[in-house]
């Protein structure tokens, strides 16, 4: 990720996405200015880290006052590359894929589903939340024609290898992989994010153990 995020560590990028959510919350409360300590409290991060992160990207607050929320949101969105709408295609319209297609939050964050793909003829041609399901055989052509930049994989892992061959990595720059398949990305200019919710539960299980120890 180091190269793809232009030398910025993944941890900082993740923190920026957290700041953005906190700034939206503050904006909804009709605040105009926010202090780094307030952001820190909302995000559960040290205020010195918040200040250091923003300074690194040239986002400076007003001395003694804080940050103008609107400007900071604009700046963080710019850093994260969220200013332009990105075209997304989803592959595998089963239980998970259907839920993802129905989620409005992606569009609000500037990610637009331009198409979905499956091999099941009973699904092809139908729509989920207005998004058309195409035959997986047409994936290559579709990516080219519709400037697809991001692919979401929600197929059985055994299907991934053959699908990956049809993804033009000159066009697609990001893959959100929900399957357990390991994608071969070495030497390729693409960012792959593997999502595993059982891993998240394992983390919760570990942290619960620590909490229980503290209480005892």
Contact range with ligand NAD by CB under 6 A, out of 49-57, 58-66, 71-79, 195-203: 195-203
The structure tokens listed for 104 are 């409005």
- Residues 46, 49, 53, 55, Cα dihedral to 10°: 110
Residue ranges of alpha helices (H) inside 29-118 are 36-43, 47-56, 69-79, 95-102, 105-108
Q: Classify residue 193 by its DSSP letter.
A: E
Neighbours of 176 (CB within 10 A): 18
Is residue 94 involved in binding ligand NAD (CB under 6 A)? yes
Q: What minimum distance in Å lies between the beta carbon of 199 and ligand NAD? A: 8
φ and ψ at 113, to 5 degrees? -75, 120
CA-nearest of 132, 101, 100 to 115 is 132
Interface characters, 34-63, with ligand NAD (x: CB under 6 A): ------------------------------
Q: What minimum distance in Å lies between the beta carbon of 216 and ligand NAD? A: 32
Is residue 97 involved in binding ligand NAD (CB under 6 A)? yes
Contact range with ligand NAD by CB under 6 A, out of 4-12, 69-77, 87-95, 202-210: 87-95
Is the Cβ of residue 94 or residue 125 nearer to ligand NAD in the bound state? 94
Is residue 202 involved in binding ligand NAD (CB under 6 A)? no
How many residues touch ligand NAD (CB under 6 A)? Answer: 23
Q: Is 88 exposed, middle or buried (0-12, 13-18, 19+ CB in 10 A)?
A: buried
Q: List binders of ligand NAD among 125-144 (CB under 6 A).
A: 136
Is residue 66 involved in binding ligand NAD (CB under 6 A)? no
Is residue 92 involved in binding ligand NAD (CB under 6 A)? yes
Answer yes or no: are the C-beta atoms of 25 and 72 closer than 8 Å.
Answer: no
Q: What minimum distance in Å lies between the beta carbon of 101 and ligand NAD? A: 11
Task: Give the span between the Cα atoms of 195 and 77, in whole angstroms.
Answer: 23
Is the Cβ of residue 54 or residue 142 nearer to ligand NAD in the bound state? 142
Give the residues lining the site for ligand NAD (CB under 6 A): 91-97, 117-120, 136, 154-157, 159, 163, 178-179, 195-197
């Amino acid at each position: 990720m180091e190269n793809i995020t232009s030398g910025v560590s993944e941890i900082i990028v993740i923190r920026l996405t957290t700041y953005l959510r906190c700034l939206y919350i503050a904006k909804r409360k009709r605040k105009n200015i926010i202090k780094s300590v307030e952001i820190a409290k909302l995000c559960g991060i040290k205020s010195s880290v918040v200040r250091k992160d923003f300074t690194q990207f040239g986002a400076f607050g007003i001395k003694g006052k804080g940050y103008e929320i609107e400007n900071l949101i604009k700046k963080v969105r710019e850093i994260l590359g969220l200013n332009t709408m990105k075209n997304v295609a989803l592959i595998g319209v089963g239980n998970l894929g259907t839920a993802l297609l129905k989620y409005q939050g992606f569009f609000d964050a500037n990610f637009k589903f331009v198409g979905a793909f499956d091999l099941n003829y009973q699904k092809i041609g139908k729509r989920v939340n207005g998004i058309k399901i195409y035959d997986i055989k047409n994936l290559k052509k579709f990516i080219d024609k519709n400037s697809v930049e991001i692919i979401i994989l929600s197929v059985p892992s055994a299907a991934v290898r053959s699908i990956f061959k049809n993804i033009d990595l000159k066009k697609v720059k990001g893959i959100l992989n929900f399957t357990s398949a390991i994608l071969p990305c070495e030497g390729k200019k693409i960012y792959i994010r593997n999502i595993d919710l059982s891993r998240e539960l394992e983390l919760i299980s570990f942290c619960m153990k620590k909490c229980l120890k503290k209480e005892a």
